[in-house]
Structure 1
């Protein structure tokens, strides 16, 4: 599947920044699974990695990974603990091979939903400060494009936008990009087509999204890659374990690991 990986035609290879926001226009496209698998993949590359659950309304990274965090963002924002005290190590390797740290949200709570602008800015600044002690930091944003989500996205060096080949996913992803570029006109999110049934469907989805962005926003988003449809992904979710622990070497994980490598080294122009 490496032939799927690469930026849009005509773009120079671009290395992703160390602070990445993982976004989606709508829920249900696999964003959180990809965020945790990317964090694991970066850690396996010997990058000290932090994954922050930035879904301020329905945080669930700790649930998906079967963790009991010692603190969460809700307690941080209420002043009960410092951000550093909310860090939980994900089991998998003291040498960071396959292991990484997370800062959880409050599972199933809407306590941070609708965060006002000043508070969102303070949270973005705190995450940026925490990221300075890591090689790679990922923020798993809420689905959609409310003001707090866009504020956290603009605090990142780059945004990685997850979508499927479904028309509603493409439409909502475009809405996210449009709002993001209203705040940061130079934003050019990397695109990942997830749960792709085949190469043709992935090509069609990316081409359609790319044409829309070029026609109405004046830029072509770089393609980071395709993740194949894989029955092991829902198995990992049900088991509440990282994908690499349930099915090492499974096709989706191979694609995610390849994407992590390309984001770290510079996305190459191989898509056609």
Structure 2
């Protein structure tokens, strides 16, 4: 199995750091000299552009309104250095319509059309990172395409775990061969991440007969909040932060080809 081209970031529940992880993973992959497109798939409350401090001239709303082709709505983001100079690392962004819920009214057919256009567009990139909306409505599931790797972001909150389980259940009903992996965010330490992952996978084993592997975890880090507040990528504002290293490790692991018999990169204790 080669490294994934389409990477979907999901959560089920909002407020678990899904969009931050999507943005930071795109940054980490771009820093590894990969051609990356970051797509804001939250059709109701798009905010990838806010995280990056972007004000795109065209966005997905422009495409839906017929004012632009999807290729024309792509904005190239160059990561700034701490001093304000260009950092030399770039990736492309296809923003949603920030501050508007108009795209949430799209039909499943219209959303499927966006998914097909995105799939065609993906041929230009090594990776397409898709920030899916929280929740389980039709817009979320319609954007989930076969042959994608889905990273489900969870915390130790019971509502996060139950909503993540519900998402995994719906995705496996839609695609029995889905490549699903778990990311634990806001982990106190490695053991905390393992306990959180076990709570989710025990339910998946019991009721779904699957055990999505733990792809990685991101520790609690106050520097994340600082980077978000300043709309500056944490990997370049705080490169030595614990959260920065965790996402860089996740990016490196995603690039490692896996045997076909392996459902995902299993993070072993002590690794």
TM-score (structure 1 length as normaliser): 0.90
| Corresponding position of 2:4 | 17
Q: Take 2:173 and 2:87, find their aligned partners in 1: how far apart are those partners? A: 38
Q: Does 1:74 align with 2:71?
A: no
Q: Which of residues 167, 176, 186 in structure 2 aligns to 1:195?
A: 186
Report the alpha carbon displacement of residue 96 of structure 1 after superposing the two structures with TM. Answer: 9.6
Distance 2:55 2:237 in 1: 19
Aligned pairs for 1:219-230 within 5 A: 219-230=210-221
Assess if the C-alpha contact under 8 Å between 1:24 and 1:162 holds in 2.
Answer: yes
Q: Contact 1:38/1:260 (CA < 8 Å) preserved in 2?
A: yes
Deviation at 1:238, TM superposition (A): 0.8
Question: What displacement does 1:19 show?
Answer: 0.8
Q: Do the aligned partners of 1:117 and 1:147 also contact (CA within 8 Å) in 2?
A: yes
Check whether the contact 1:128–1:155 (CA below 8 A) recurs between aligned residues. no
Counterparts of 2:2 and 2:207, CA distance in 1: 25
Q: Considering only aligned residues, what root-mean-square deviation do their CA atoms show, in Å?
A: 1.8
User: Could you give the per-residue CA deviations for residues 116-154 of structure 1, whole angstroms, max 9, x where no partner exists?
Assistant: 111011000011111110111111010111111111112
Question: Does structure 1 conserve the Cα–Cα contact (< 8 Å) formed by 2:28 and 2:235?
Answer: no
**Are the equivalent residues in 2 in contact too, given 1:190–1:222 (CA < 8 A)?**
yes
Contact 2:153 2:182 in 1 (8 A): yes
What do residues 224-267 of structure 1 show as CA deviations (whole Å, max 9, x unaligned)? 10111000111111111211232112110100000011011146
Q: Does 1 or 2 have the higher relative contact order (CA < 8 Å, sep 6+)?
A: 1
Query: Quick check: 1:65–1:241 contact (8 Å CA) kept in 2?
Result: yes
Unmatched tracts of structure 1, length 5 or more: 1-13
What corresponds to 1:43 in structure 2?
A: 30
Cα pair 2:147 2:178 within 8 Å, conserved:
no
Instruction: Please give the alpha-carbon distance, in whole angstroms, between the structure 2 residues aligned to 1:197 and 1:243.
Output: 19
In structure 2, do the counterparts of structure 1 residues 62 and 155 end up closer, same or farther at CA, with 3 Å as the change threshold? farther
Q: Please, which moves more after superposition, 146-155 or 117-126? A: 146-155
1:15/1:263 contact within 8 Å kept:
no
Equivalent residue for 1:243? Answer: 234
Which residue is 1:116 aligned to?
A: 107
- In 2, the alpha carbon distance for the partners of 1:70 and 1:51 equals 16
Distance 2:184 2:232 in 1: 23
Q: Which runs of 5+ in 2 are unaligned?
A: 81-85, 258-263
Q: Is this contact kept in 2: 1:35–1:138, CA < 8 A?
A: yes
Contact in 1 for aligned 2:79/2:233 (Cα 8 Å): no
CA, structure 1 residues 156+63, in 2 after alignment: closer, same or farther (shift >3 Å)? Answer: farther
Does 2:180 align with 1:183? no
Q: Contact conserved, 2:39 with 2:128, CA < 8 A, in 1?
A: yes
Counterpart secondary structure, 1:140: strand
Q: What pairs with 1:244-263 in structure 2 (closer than 5 Å)?
A: 244-263=235-254
- Aligned partner (choices 116, 120, 123) of residue 125 of structure 1: 116
